[in-house]
Amino acid sequence: MTILERLFGAGEFIRLLRFYLFHPEEDFTVTELRRQLKGRSSKTLKILHELTILGCLTAGVRSDTGETTYRIDPGWLLFAELRALFMKAQLLIEHDLVRRLQKAGRLRLLILAGLFVGERQGATDLLIVGQVNRQQISRLFKRFERDLNEEVKYTVMSSNEYRYRKDVGDRFLYDILECRHLVVIDTMQRQRRAVARPSSVSRRRRRKKR
């Protein structure tokens, strides 16, 4: 249960409100929302009507199908305050995720991308490099997805695989590194520097012997 669910109560209402606050420029039909939130159609429709009466949502009609759609109104009185509150709550969830990931193994590199930086079409949402317990990681992300009501794409690599992919110019890896991302942990860079320094010293010593 997330901190906001503890404050306002758990259930589809809070998940639906949060979903719209994080998708302010998109409209959704009842079917699409049901698929996204894995909720019941009758309950979803009732909550949508309640949010519309409150002025939170506006209803429209999709031109190609004639289906009713719902979109959050950015001009709603509580929009800015609630969105800021939910974003802070998501930061707490993300910090908790990073802390738990660090306990799942020896992380050499951890990069947040995709939905964590507002790029939902990215190759992956999270890149993990190091020696980790993959079963523990899988269980952790299932819980994390429930908290966020979002499907999270994550990628796990060993240090050797990461170095190889980077050396050969792997397109998937460079799509991650060239797009917007946030480096949370990086001991790979420090190791490369540590390896480089002794080699330069040894070359100077060999020159002196000559």
**Per-residue pLDDT at 8 exceeds 60:** no
Domain ranges of the chain: 3-77, 90-188
* Per-residue pLDDT tens over the stretch 46-69: 888 988 998 999 999 998 889 999
Span of 126-130, 166-170, 195-199 with lowest mean pLDDT = 195-199
Query: Which sign does the torsion angle of CA 166, 169, 175, 177 carry?
Result: positive
Residue whose C-alpha is closest to residue 157's, from 180, 178, 137, 182: 137
| CA gap 49, 56 in Å, rounded | 10
pLDDT of residue 40: 58
Contact (Cβ atoms closer than 8 angstroms) between residue 129 and residue 110: yes
For the domain made up of 90-188, give the CATH fold. Beta Polymerase; domain 2 (3.30.460)
pLDDT of residue 100: 86
**Per-residue pLDDT at 127 exceeds 90:** yes
**Per-residue pLDDT at 11 exceeds 50:** yes
Q: How sure is the predictor about 70, in pLDDT bands with cuts at 50, 70 and 90? A: very high
pLDDT of residue 109: 93
Residue whose C-alpha is closest to residue 15's, from 44, 42, 53, 49: 44
Span of 31-35, 126-130, 202-206 with lowest mean pLDDT = 202-206
107 membership: H or E segment, kind and range? strand 105-112
**Per-residue pLDDT at 115 exceeds 90:** no
pLDDT of residue 114: 85
pTM assigned to the model = 0.60
Pick the CATH number of 3-77 from 3.30.70.1380, 1.20.120.1460, 1.10.10.10, 3.40.50.300: 1.10.10.10
Calculate Rg over the CA atoms of the chain. 23
End-to-end Cα distance, the chain: 69
